[in-house]
Chain A
Amino acid sequence: MSPDPPGEPAGPARTEPLYVAARVSEPDIADFASESVIIFDVDGAIQYWNPASEALYGWPAITMVGRGIGHLSTRSENEREHWRLLLQEGTWHGVVSRRTPSGIHIVVDIRQYVRFAQDGTPRDVIEYGRQSLSDNGIDGAGWHIPDRLMAAGWEVDVSGAGALIAEIARLRKEANADEKLLHARHVELVEAARIVNVNERTMRLVGGNRGRDLMIGQPVAGFWPLESRKVAGELFADAMLGQTEGATHRRQMPSDGILRDPLVTVWRADEPGRLYVAVNGTVDDDRSYLYLRASEARYRKLVHHMPVALWQVDASHMGRIYNDIRATGVTDFCAYLDEHPELVDLAAATVRVTDVNRAAVQMFGGGSALDLMRPVGYLFTVARHSLHNVMIGRFKGQESHHEVTKIETFDGRVRDVRMSVTYPKQVAELDVTIFSFEDVTEHMSIEAELRQLQADFTHAARISMLGELTTSIAHEVNQPLAAIVTNAETSLRWLSRVDLNVEKVRELTSRIAASGRRASDIVQRIRGMAAKRQPERVALDLNDVAQESLLFVRHEIESRSIRVTTDFARNLPTAVGDRIQLQQVIVNLLVNGVQAVEERGEGDRRIVMRTSEKDGQLALTLRDTGPGIPGEDIERIFQGFFTTKDSGMGIGLAICQSIVAEHGGSISASNHPDGGAEFRFVIPAAPA
C-alpha cells in the first residue's frame, strides 16, 4: 500500500459528485459538524471533506477531494511512515502541522480511525480535527459552521486562453499600456475560462437549479457577477503568470448582490492550464443562511410544481445592447427591429434559458429540463413576431408583456399559448426575465367553433334577408338589362339603314357598356352580401357603409313611395369593422323600417337615417314613421326567434345585436316621442 498522494483529479469530463459519499449517510451528518471530518481511502486519497474542513484549512472541498493527504503536509516522508503505522494500529491521535492556501501552516489536533470491511481489510480512514488550542485556536467555535467560512469553489480551465494570457502579460509590461484594452482583455479571460467543476455552494449561489452538469464546460463569465469580472480576470492572469508554485492570489471584492464583500482566492492547480478559485463571503442577505436556504428550497419547490409552465431567461446582454441602441437616439424600436432582423436572430440564438419548471418540460414534451435549457429561439419557431414583441416590451421598459401566440413542441405539435413575460425591474438587479406559457389550445378551438357558428348564423340571416329583397333585386338587375336589349336593337336598326348614323350607333354602344357595368355592379354587391366569408376588420367610413346599404333597398323604398332622408355627419372618424356585416345590420334595420311604414299605411311615409359622433363613439340612428314598437316587445326585440311577422325566423335583430357587439358596440330600440320606432347602434371610432 502506497501512502503517496494519489493522482490528480480527472479532466473536465469528471462529473461525479465532489462530496463523494461512499457511505451515503455519513457525509450528510458530517456536513453540519463543527469539527473537521475527512474521509481518506486506504491509499490516503481524500474521499470526503466536510464544510468544517473548508473552514479550518481554507481549502474548498473541490480542490481536495481526490487528492492525497500529502497535499496538506510539507513533510511527505513522515506522512508515509505515519500512514503505514495508522493502518497497522487502526487509530492515531496527535498534533500535526497542515498547510493552508495562504501558505500559512496551522497546528491541528487530529484523531484518525481506520474502519474495516467485513473481511477484516481496512476500508477507509476517518479523521476528526480541530485547531490546536496552543495554536491560537478558538475553543468552542459556534455550534454550526458560519456560511461565510464555506467557500464557493471553482475549478477552471484557461488552457484555451494561452494567447490571451500572453497578451495580458505583454500589456502589463508596457510602460503606458492602454488601460481600457487591458481591462477588456481581463474580462475576455473570464469569458474564455471554462468551468471544469464547481462545488455545491457555487452551484447554489450562481447556478440556479441548473445543476452542475449544465455549468461544466460553460464560460466562467456566464455565472460570474458582471461587476467583478474584471477583478476575476486579473486574478486569473496573476495566478497563471505568477512565478511561485502554489502561490495564492486573493482580492476583496465589492458586494455583488450575491455575496457581501466576497474574498476571492485563486491559485494554480497542478494540472497545466487549470486554476482553483475559492470565494468566501456571507450571502448578501440579513437572514441566516439556513433560513435562506430553506426559503429558497420552498420557492424552488413551489415554482417547480406550479401548473403554469415557467422559463427563467438571462437576457442581460440584450439589455446592454438596447441601452446602446437607445443612446443612438432610436425611439421607434419596432421600426428599428424591422430594419434589423438580425437583432431578433441574435436574441433567438444567444438569450439563454437558465431554468425551467416541470410544467414547461411537459408542455414541450422534453425528456428533462436540460432539453429546454438552451437559447430561447425554440420558443418562437412558429411565431417569430412574438419574440419581436417581447424585445419591444423590454426596450420600452415595460414591466410585463402578454400575448396569445403559438409554439411548436419538440414532437412537432403546434399549440396556442397565452404568453406572459415579466421583465427585470432594474438593470442593477439580477437580470432575470420570466416567461410563462399557458396552453389555451382547447379554449381557442372552442372559441373558434363559437365564432364559426356565429359566422354561419350571420350568413344565414344575410341570405334570408336577401331572400326578402328578391323582387327588388330582380328589378334592379333587370333595368339595365332591358336598357341594353333596347339599345342594341336600336343600334341594329341604324346599322341596317342606308343613312347610317355612325354617331348615334357610337352613343348607343357606349350606353350599352354603361348599363352592362351597372348590372355588373349590382351583381357584385349582391354577391358580396351572399358570399360566405370570414369577417374581416378594415378601416371604413360609416357614412359610406350607410350609403351602400341604401342601394340594397332603394327599389323597395321607391316602389312603396317611402321617403328616405339622410343626415350624415361630416368628417366622421373612421370605424374599424367588417363592411358586409355592418351593411347587413343597416339593411336589416332599413327593411324593418320599410315594413313598419307599410304596416301603418297612409300618412307620412318616411325613414330618417342619421349618423353622428360623440366622445369617440360613432352612432347610426334610423327612425321610421311606422306604428312603433309595442311596449311589451321592446325588451325582447333583440332576442333570437322573437318575431311579430308571419314569415321570418326572427333572427334578424338578434344577429344585428351580435354583429354590433362583435364590433365593440351596442344597439338599442325605442319609440320616438313623435311616433314611430327608432333604432340606434353605436360603435367605437378607430383609435387615432
Chain B
Amino acid sequence: MPRIPLVAIVDDDESIREALCDLLMVAGLACCTFDGAPAFLADQGARGVDCLITDVRMPGMSGLDLLERVRAGGSNLPVIVLTSVLDQSARARALELGAQAWLTKPVADDALLDQLKAAIGSEDWPGEPGQ
C-alpha cells in the first residue's frame, strides 16, 4: 500500500485554500493548509511535505520570499507557484529559484494535477480512487 503524498498549500485566501484542498482530496492526495508563509515556516510538520503550492502576494511575507527561504535552508522541496500576479520578472525569479511551475489563477484542475504528478513522481501518485 503506497503512502498518500502530502501537499502543503499556502494562501491568504481561505476560499482558495478550501477549494485546492478539496481538489487534492478527490485526486487521492492529502493536504495541509497555511494562511501565510510565516505559518508554514513555523510548522515543524510541514518539513515532511512532498510538494508546496504557494500564492505570491500575501501579507507578512510573499511567496517568492518563502521560496527563497526554503531554498536557503537547503531544501529541494518541489514548489508550485499559483498566483494572479502576471509579473514576468517575478516569474523568472521563481523559476530561477527552482520552482516546479508558475501557474496563474484560475488554474485548470488537470494543469495543476499534472504539475503535482511531475513533482511527486508517478510511482508515488495514487491511483484515481473511485474510478
B107 contacts A486, C-beta separation under 8 Å: yes
Taking CB atoms, residues of chain B closer than 8 Å to A557 are 59
Taking CB atoms, residues of chain A closer than 8 Å to B62 are 559
A558 contacts B12, C-beta separation under 8 Å: yes
Taking CB atoms, residues of chain B closer than 8 Å to A522 are none
Q: Which of A475, A482, A493, A514 has the most CB of B within 10 A?
A: A482
User: Whole-angstrom distance between the alpha carbons of A561 and B107 in the complex?
Assistant: 26
A472 CB to closest chain B CB (Å) equals 9
Interface residues of B in 1-60 (CB under 8 A from A): 12-13, 15-16, 18-20, 22-23, 26-27, 57-60
Taking CB atoms, residues of chain A closer than 8 Å to B16 are 479, 482-483, 486
Known contacts: A479-B105, A482-B84, A511-B18. The answer to whether A489 contacts B23 by CB under 8 A is: yes
Q: Is there a chain B Cβ closer than 8 Å to A490's Cβ? A: yes
Residues of B in contact with A (beta carbons under 8 Å apart): 12-13, 15-16, 18-20, 22-23, 26-27, 57-62, 84-85, 105-109, 129-131
Known contacts: A479-B13, A482-B105. The answer to whether A559 contacts B58 by CB under 8 A is: yes
Taking CB atoms, residues of chain B closer than 8 Å to A493 are 23, 26-27, 109
List the B residue with the shortest CB-CB distance to A485.
Answer: B106
User: Whole-angstrom distance between the alpha carbons of A558 and B37 in the complex?
Assistant: 13
B130 contacts A479, C-beta separation under 8 Å: no
Q: Which of A482, A518, A555 is B106 in contact with, Cβ under 8 Å?
A: A482
Q: Which of A486, A518, A561 is B19 in contact with, Cβ under 8 Å?
A: A486
User: Whole-angstrom distance between the alpha carbons of A559 and B13 in the complex?
Assistant: 12
B57 contacts A559, C-beta separation under 8 Å: yes
User: Whole-angstrom distance between the alpha carbons of A499 and B130 in the complex?
Assistant: 6
Interface string of A33-75 (1 = CB under 8 A from B): 0000000000000000000000000000000000000000000
B106 contacts A475, C-beta separation under 8 Å: no
User: Whole-angstrom distance between the alpha carbons of A623 and B92 in the complex?
Assistant: 37
Known contacts: A475-B84, A478-B105, A498-B130. The answer to whether A490 contacts B57 by CB under 8 A is: no
- The number of chain A residues touching the other chain, given as a range, is 20 to 34
Residues of A in contact with B (beta carbons under 8 Å apart): 474-475, 478-487, 489-490, 493-494, 497-499, 504, 508, 511, 514-515, 518, 555, 557-559, 561
Give 4 A-B pairs besides A482-B84, A486-B22, A497-B129 with Cβ atoms closer than 8 angstroms. A514-B15, A557-B59, A559-B62, A561-B59
A490 contacts B13, C-beta separation under 8 Å: no
A218 CB to closest chain B CB (Å) equals 82
Known contacts: A493-B27, A494-B26, A511-B15. The answer to whether A486 contacts B60 by CB under 8 A is: no
Taking CB atoms, residues of chain A closer than 8 Å to B61 are 561
A486 contacts B84, C-beta separation under 8 Å: no
Q: List 6 A-B contacts (CB under 8 A).
A: A482-B19, A486-B23, A508-B22, A555-B57, A558-B12, A561-B60
A481 contacts B59, C-beta separation under 8 Å: no
A483 contacts B19, C-beta separation under 8 Å: yes
A527 CB to closest chain B CB (Å) equals 20
B65 CB to closest chain A CB (Å) equals 10
Q: Which of A475, A480, A489, A511 is B109 in contact with, Cβ under 8 Å?
A: A489
B105 CB to closest chain A CB (Å) equals 4
List the B residue with the shortest CB-CB distance to A556.
Answer: B57
B39 CB to closest chain A CB (Å) equals 15
A511 CB to closest chain B CB (Å) equals 7
User: Whole-angstrom distance between the alpha carbons of A561 and B60 in the complex?
Assistant: 5
User: Whole-angstrom distance between the alpha carbons of A486 and B84 in the complex?
Assistant: 14
Taking CB atoms, residues of chain B closer than 8 Å to A475 are 57, 84-85
List the A residue with the shortest CB-CB distance to B87.
Answer: A471
Known contacts: A498-B130, A499-B130, A555-B57. The answer to whether A486 contacts B109 by CB under 8 A is: yes
Q: Which of B19, B22, B57, B105 has the most CB of A within 10 A?
A: B19
User: Whole-angstrom distance between the alpha carbons of A559 and B59 in the complex?
Assistant: 5
Taking CB atoms, residues of chain A closer than 8 Å to B13 are 479, 483
B107 contacts A474, C-beta separation under 8 Å: no
A478 contacts B84, C-beta separation under 8 Å: yes
5 closest cross-chain pairs (CB), A and B: A482-B105, A497-B130, A485-B106, A558-B59, A486-B19
Taking CB atoms, residues of chain A closer than 8 Å to B108 are 485, 489
User: Whole-angstrom distance between the alpha carbons of A235 and B104 in the complex?
Assistant: 104
List the A residue with the shortest CB-CB distance to B57.
Answer: A559
B33 CB to closest chain A CB (Å) equals 13
A271 CB to closest chain B CB (Å) equals 100
A263 CB to closest chain B CB (Å) equals 99
List the A residue with the shortest CB-CB distance to B131.
Answer: A497
List the A residue with the shortest CB-CB distance to B19.
Answer: A486
Taking CB atoms, residues of chain B closer than 8 Å to A485 are 106-108
B130 contacts A504, C-beta separation under 8 Å: no
Taking CB atoms, residues of chain A closer than 8 Å to B57 are 475, 555, 558-559
B109 CB to closest chain A CB (Å) equals 4
B59 contacts A478, C-beta separation under 8 Å: no
B92 CB to closest chain A CB (Å) equals 18
